[in-house]
Chain A
Amino acid sequence: MTRPGLTTACAAMLRRDLTLAWRRRGDIAMPVLYALIVTMLFPFALGPEDTLLQRIAGGVVLVTVLLAMLLALDAMFASDIEDGSLEQLVLAPQPLALMLGMKILAHWVTIALPLIVISPLMAALLHLPAAVMPVLLLALLLATPLLSLLGAVLVALTVGTRRSGMLLALMLLPLCVPAVIFAAGAVAAAQQGLPWLAPISWLAAALVLAVVLAPLACAAALRIALDS
């Protein structure tokens, strides 16, 4: 009896989660709308001064994207636990951490990627100079998967608790502070014409670490959550 290879299993997981997300595409639109509305409100609240908006643009876009991701975070494993799919996944003859990694990847593709796609529009609403845009996109491409991975670990740790949303936000806050500092630091440095590679490298290093460790932590946390 031969078991399917890792590629087949990964593809099956990824396809499953992307299909599910596509069947509920209204849910994907929510974070995008939220992020757009928040960025649109800033010029109204602060006045349309170019210099002020330019100075805060990078930070506002980053924080808005991270908060928008937070909206969709606690749903990452909820439905799988409810309908028993997670039990079946734990019992499948495949490495659980890798399968969860695929779930996190699918979550990032469906939640963070649309936000990254509209981020140039958000930045333009706040008059961010076009020259800084590539640095902003790079910072987002590194910071959002980092947040997805850290968030997944916390979601896995809090699955058993009722109303975990509040707890999740409180726990995630200190963890995403470094990501925000480095990402916004890179954008600010690029805006002032300073070298921005160092903060980006820190983000990349944190992401590499999270890619390796977060799925393992997720798998352990979910096994414990089921074993009760």
Chain B
Amino acid sequence: MTAARTVAPLLEARAVSFHRQDEPVFAPLDFQLHAGELALVEGDNGSGKTTLLRMLAGLLHLGAGELLWRGEALQRDLCAGDILFLGHQLGLKADLSPRENLRVATGLHGTREGMDSASLLAEIGLRGYEDEPVRRLSAGQKKRAALARLAMLPATLWLLDEPYANLDRAGIALVNDMLGRHTDAGGAAMVTSHGTVSFHGGEPRRIRMHD
């Protein structure tokens, strides 16, 4: 942990905030996220958790403040693909199967080393559904298909908005397992959740949202 402190954090936010019609959505936030760390974004409904993640992903513009990526001002075209975002809309085409959805994603992003879609889909609980159109899957299975994309693509930072929604107990364990493996491999993740979350391996860093 002390060694990690000497290198620049993966992502550093300095007084970032976002305004919608001149109203601040959340109070200015400061935080650091190092490689191998997990951050849990906490806050009530409407406190701006989703807005924060969308802003960090680059979908929303930075309202105010400064974002640093590996110690330098964050430039979207330099870190594109390094940051993956999974929101309420899963980004799956309903007419394509989980396997085909993965193929599209890897065609755009590339593949994480040592991953192949068949074994990944089986591992993630979609064995037998690989070639079924996503529209016929249950909400939880759709979520799993979207999680498979996360595991498949090469990326450093995951921004997960309510990754536990719609998942059964095994699914929640699966997400925690994925997060554990991702951080062990030097990745980092920011997760929002309403419910109580128990990650593997110690307490996550907590980022509290205030109105």
Contacts and interface: CB of A to CB of B under 8 A. Distances in A.
Interface of A: 1-4, 8-9, 11-13, 15-16, 19-20, 23-24, 79, 82-85, 87-94, 99, 226-228
Interface SS of chain B: helix, strand, loop or mixed?
loop
B87 A87 contact: yes
Contact of B110 (A2, A19, A79): A2
Contacts of A15: 104, 107
Contact residues on B (Cβ < 8 Å of other chain), bracket: 20 to 34
B83 interface: yes
A83 B89 contact: yes
Contacts of A92: 80-81, 108-109
A9 B110 CA distance: 9
A5 B87 CA distance: 27
B95 interface: yes
Given A4-B108, A226-B60, 8 more contacts: A4-B106, A15-B104, A23-B95, A83-B91, A84-B88, A84-B92, A90-B59, A93-B82
B151 to A, nearest CB: 15
25 contacts: A4-B110, A9-B107, A13-B104, A16-B107, A20-B95, A20-B96, A83-B92, A83-B94, A84-B87, A84-B88, A84-B89, A84-B91, A85-B92, A87-B89, A87-B91, A88-B85, A89-B108, A90-B58, A91-B83, A93-B81, A94-B80, A94-B108, A99-B108, A227-B59, A228-B60
Nearest to A3: B110
Contacts of B209: none
Nearest to B146: A84
A91 B105 CA distance: 11
Contact of A16 (B89, B104, B109): B104
A88 B96 CA distance: 16
Nearest to B80: A93
Given A12-B104, A227-B60, A83 B90 contact: yes
B96 A9 contact: no
A83 B95 CA distance: 11
A12 B108 CA distance: 7
B93 A20 contact: yes
A64 B81 CA distance: 43
Contact of B93 (A1, A9, A16): A16
A23 B85 CA distance: 28
Contacts of B110: 1-4
A88 B90 CA distance: 9
Contact of B59 (A8, A19, A23, A87): A87
A9 to B, nearest CB: 5
